[in-house]
Structures are given as C-alpha cells and as structure tokens.
Structure 1
Amino acid sequence: MVVPLVVGIDGSEASLEAVEWAADEALRHQVPLHLVHAAAAAPGEPDLVAAASERARKGAPAVQVSGEVLHDDAASALVGKGRNAFAVVVGSRGLGDLAGLLLGSVGLAVAAHADCPVVVVRGGVEHRHTRFGSVVVGVEEGEGSDTAVEFAFREAHVRRCRLVAVHAWSVPVGSPGPPGLSGYALQAQRRPPAEVLADALRDPAKQYQDVPVSSEVVEGPTRRALLNAASGADLLVVGARRRHGHVGLQLGLVNHAMLHHAPCPVVVVPRI
C-alpha cells in the first residue's frame, strides 16, 4: 500500500498554502494526498476539507485526494496520522496561534513528535514554487543527519535540481593549540570539516548520480550558514535525533531557528 502525504488544515491561508505545496509534492512522488482537519473542542467543519480538496485539485488535478474530519486536538491527530505517512505537512501559522508566534504551536508540536518527516511550509511564492532549482541540506558531524541527507538527495532527484550540502563548524572556545594555528587547522586536528561532509554525501551520491551536488564548508554558526543558504533554495532539510528514554525528537537550537526563521519550506527528518 502506498502511504499518503498528510496535510493538516484549519482554514487559514497558511494551511491552504501548505495544501498547494503538498499537492505538488504528492505529484512529484506519485503518492496520494490526505487532508486532515481536527478540532478538540467541537466537531470539525467538513466544508474546510472540501474547500482544501478543491484547491489541491486545482493546482495538481492528477493527484488522488482524500480527507477526513477528526474530533481531536490537531497536534495529536497529525502525529497519529504521521505513523503511516510519507510525510506530514503543516502551514507556518494557524488560526488559533498568537500573532507574535513565528511558527504555530501545532506545527512545532508535530515537528517534535512525529515519526515521519514533517514539512513546515514557509516563505513567499518564489520559495514555495520551486523557482530556485535548489535543495539545501544541513550536515552535522556523526550520524544525526544521515536520513536527512538521503531525504534531500531524493528530493533533488524528483525535482531535477541541484543539492547544496552545508556543514558549518567552529572551534570550541578555549580549545588548546599551538600559537598562530588557524581555526581550520585546529579543527582538522580532530576531524577535517571537509571530510565530515564528504563522508555524509558519499553513499547517497552513488545512488542518485543524476543529482548535481555543491558542498559548502562554513566556519561559523550553523544557524547563520543554513539561513544564508536557504535564501536561494526551494527547500531546506534538517535532521533530528530521537530523544533517549523519551518520546519525540531532539529539536535543538538550530532546528528551532530554521522552523521559525527559514525563508523557504523546511523539512525535519527524524533519524531512523
């Protein structure tokens, strides 16, 4: 059975923009689109599903669209649906969120607890409609970003665009080293940053040989490096480790910064 791409809807313009984005994504991956409207306080409104379905079919008439209304809080409903989904897609802000929140509480909760990749659809039209021809993925040292890198390669493959892999590094404050030794040389005494990036890309690059790859090793904060790269991207992909002994993912400072400030849609991919 083909698992669906699930989209949370609440009638807000942000959620309808998420529906449009998800319809295109479902078409690219040849998966069905499933719309979910959930409300804990009262039964959901079926008309919202019908309107969202119409908007999805208008942009991608070939996509198979279904929908349902659930009497449950939105975050729990979407996390539940995400257990058998290609990905869960949400808008950057919902009807019930305070105006000052950069990302809705539902979106943040889903990103932190879903078992599948979660997409928060952010940015203007130019970023939401693949006008840059670029997917950016953040690569960290260790195995925390391996599934994110694989996801990013697959996205670049189906979109027929280039992949920009970014690895940011910095020397910890107080690191000992000979006088006059550069920051890069100090870091290279541990493991060269370029090697970290090359190792992360090697295996998926063999699988997706048609994807052109640009590698960027940046000295400085990861948040700044990814936001700069995302300014010219259609999609930003970041990984998240699972929390040991707890349900959910470790959404660190970098993940939070991307979810709140990225200029394009963001995907949080949990490590398997």
Structure 2
Amino acid sequence: MIRPVTVGVDGFPESRAAADWAAKEALLREAPLRVVHADEWPRVPAVPPVDREEHQRWADTVLDDVSGELRRRYPELAVSARRLTGRAAAVLAVEAADSQVLVLGSRGRGALEGFLLGSVGTATVGLIDTPVVLVRPRDGAATGSVDQAGRDVVVGVDIHETADAVLAFAFDEAARRGCGVRAVHGWSLPFAFSYAPGLDPGVRQEVADGIAGALAERLRPWRGLYPSVKTEERVLVGAPAEQVLHEATDAELVVVGRRIRRAPVGGHLGHVAHAVLHHATAPVAVIAHD
C-alpha cells in the first residue's frame, strides 16, 4: 500500500496553498492525498462561544471545498478527506505517522494564529519524525502555482553532522522535480581569531578550503546515487541561517534538518531551522535526523 501525502487545512487561504502544493507533491510521488482538518473545540475563555454543531458543519464545509477543488484541478489524483476531533498538533502527528510527507500552511512572520508561529506548527514539527513541509503562498496568492520549474532545491548542510536523511530528501525531491540541488554551508572563523589582526590571510583560505573539501565529501555519495541531478556547493562566510535564507530567495524548496531529541517537554527546533521557517518565502521541508 502506498503511503499518502497528508495536508492539514484550517479554512485560511494559506492552507489552500498548502493543499495545492501537497496535491502536486502527491502526483510526483504517485501517491494518494489525504486532506485533514483537526476539529479542536475552543477552550480559551476569550474566544466567543460557538454552537458545536455549527462549528462541525463549518469544518465539513472547509474539507468539502478544499477536497472538491483538488479533485477538479487534479482528476487523476486520489483525494480523501477526514475531520478528526482533538488537539490539532496531536491529530496531525497521528496522521503523519503513516504518511510520506505532512504539509501545512504557513502564515509566516507576525501572524500569531498561523500554523508556524502559533502552537500548532511548532508543536507538530517537534512531535514527529515524518518530513514536514511548510508552505506559504507566493506573491500573496492563496491558490495557484506555489512552485516553479527550474528552481533549485536548496539544502542547508552541517558538515559536522551526519544527516543523511536531510540530503536524501533534498536529492530525491530534486530528481522528482527535474531540478538541481544547491548545498549551502555557512561558516566563520572562531571568535578568538578576532583578537589576531595580524592573522595570515592564508589561514582563512586554508580553513575555507578544508570546509569546501568536507562539503564535497559529504555530497559525493549522493552525486553517485543521483547522477542526473546537477549539484552546486556553496561555502559562504556568515551565519548558517543567514546564508541559507539568502540562497533560498529563488528556491523551489528549502530543506533543513532538525535533530531528534527525545524529551518530556517535546521536540526541539535548531536555530537554523527556526530562522528559515520564520523567514523563508519558499516552501520549507524540515527533516528529522539523529
């Protein structure tokens, strides 16, 4: 049985863009699409009371509208829809467990109710090991194309970690989409070197060459597995998050890693993933790794 691509929808325009992206991803993977709405009954006193049956009818309408539109636009795609009761992050985590990818809409920076900056997106990303893709409409569009052919898949690479899952996802996505991979590593000299104004310039170059060699070695197996994927290495001076974001401005997809940390308080987003999720305009895939 082929595992589905799952998308969470909440009635906001951004989740419709996420649903459209998820539909295209499902077609690329030759997988069915599962559209999910978490019917989380408001528990906040400040929220005006709403009749529960009316709330459920609204949720069903959201699902019918989104899934119906996807069936019309992509008649070759198998689309199912389900409304589930429970806290959104927990519901999405359960649905993601048997999915290839979980897709969520992101309102991005400054929207407190958004999947990303609210509790739902952050909690969901930290709860699951399944790849999660956060999608924001391009150019403010709620629907329509959220990807463009010819753009690279940009992946942030930490040469000090063995994160094969991150590179595997990036190369696989690039192969499916017929585009290249741009591997980005940001670096800077240790802080102590700022106290050495007479430092031989050759030292900086030597360090840079060493980092470039390490990045090339990290990519070598993946180049062999995906010979048709054009691969570019970008070793840049500066904070890793800033460099990934700079390269992501024209990306088809941005891929970042998240180290799995088993803790009673839940998952953890590293500073690079956190920054990219909050500021990138391209879709961002967060890949859990050991």
C-alpha deviation, 1:245, in angstroms:
4.6
1:120 equivalent to 2:134? Answer yes
- Are the aligned partners of 2:115 and 2:122 in contact in 1 as well (CA < 8 Å)? no
Report the residue type matching 2:2 in the other structure.
V
Alignment of 1:85-100 (within 5 A): 85-93=99-107, 98=112
C-alpha deviation, 1:82, in angstroms:
1.3
CA distance in 1, matches of 2:121, 2:281: 16
Aligned partner (choices 96, 113, 116) of residue 82 of structure 1: 96
Q: Partner of 1:211 in structure 2?
A: 229
1:180 equivalent to 2:199? Answer yes
Alignment of 1:165-244 (within 5 A): 165-175=183-193, 179-182=198-201, 184-185=204-205, 187=207, 192-244=210-262
C-alpha deviation, 1:123, in angstroms:
4.6
1:252 equivalent to 2:270? Answer yes
1:263 equivalent to 2:281? Answer yes
- Are the aligned partners of 2:184 and 2:243 in contact in 1 as well (CA < 8 Å)? yes
Q: After superposing the two structures, state which structure 1 stretch, 67-76 or 36-45, moved more.
A: 36-45
What is the TM-score with the length of structure 1 in the denominator? 0.89
C-alpha deviation, 1:127, in angstroms:
7.8
- Are the aligned partners of 1:242 and 1:248 in contact in 2 as well (CA < 8 Å)? no
The gaps in structure 2 that reach 5 residues or longer are 42-51
Q: Partner of 2:45 in structure 1?
A: none
Match of 1:257, SS? helix
Match of 1:15, SS? helix
- Are the aligned partners of 1:139 and 1:166 in contact in 2 as well (CA < 8 Å)? yes
Give the number of the structure whose alpha-carbon radius of gyration is greater. Answer: 2
Summarize deviations over 1:160-207 as a string: whole Å, max 9, x none.
01111111111121158794233634636xx81112211221111111
Q: Partner of 2:86 in structure 1?
A: 72
C-alpha deviation, 1:249, in angstroms:
4.1
Q: After superposing the two structures, state which structure 1 stretch, 48-57 or 245-254, moved more.
A: 245-254
Match of 2:161, SS? coil
Q: Partner of 1:34 in structure 2?
A: 34
C-alpha deviation, 1:103, in angstroms:
3.4
CA distance in 2, matches of 1:207, 1:123: 32
Rate the CA distance shift 1:193–1:165 in 2: closer, same or farther, 3 A: same
Match of 1:237, SS? strand
CA distance in 1, matches of 2:96, 2:116: 23
CA distance in 2, matches of 1:85, 1:240: 18
Summarize deviations over 1:30-82 as a string: whole Å, max 9, x none.
11110110122157422211111122223322111111111111111011111
C-alpha deviation, 1:27, in angstroms:
0.4
Q: Partner of 2:151 in structure 1?
A: 133
Q: Partner of 1:153 in structure 2?
A: 171
Report the residue type matching 1:54 in the other structure.
G
1:52 equivalent to 2:66? Answer yes
- Are the aligned partners of 1:6 and 1:87 in contact in 2 as well (CA < 8 Å)? yes
- Are the aligned partners of 2:115 and 2:121 in contact in 1 as well (CA < 8 Å)? no
CA distance in 2, matches of 1:107, 1:26: 21
RMSD of Structure 2 on Structure 1 (CA): 2.5
Rate the CA distance shift 1:26–1:218 in 2: closer, same or farther, 3 A: same
Q: After superposing the two structures, state which structure 1 stretch, 24-33 or 103-112, moved more.
A: 103-112
- Are the aligned partners of 1:145 and 1:238 in contact in 2 as well (CA < 8 Å)? no
Rate the CA distance shift 1:19–1:248 in 2: closer, same or farther, 3 A: same
Q: Partner of 1:22 in structure 2?
A: 22
1:63 equivalent to 2:81? Answer no
Match of 1:89, SS? strand
C-alpha deviation, 1:104, in angstroms:
3.7
- Are the aligned partners of 1:177 and 1:186 in contact in 2 as well (CA < 8 Å)? no
The gaps in structure 1 that reach 5 residues or longer are none
Q: Partner of 2:9 in structure 1?
A: 9
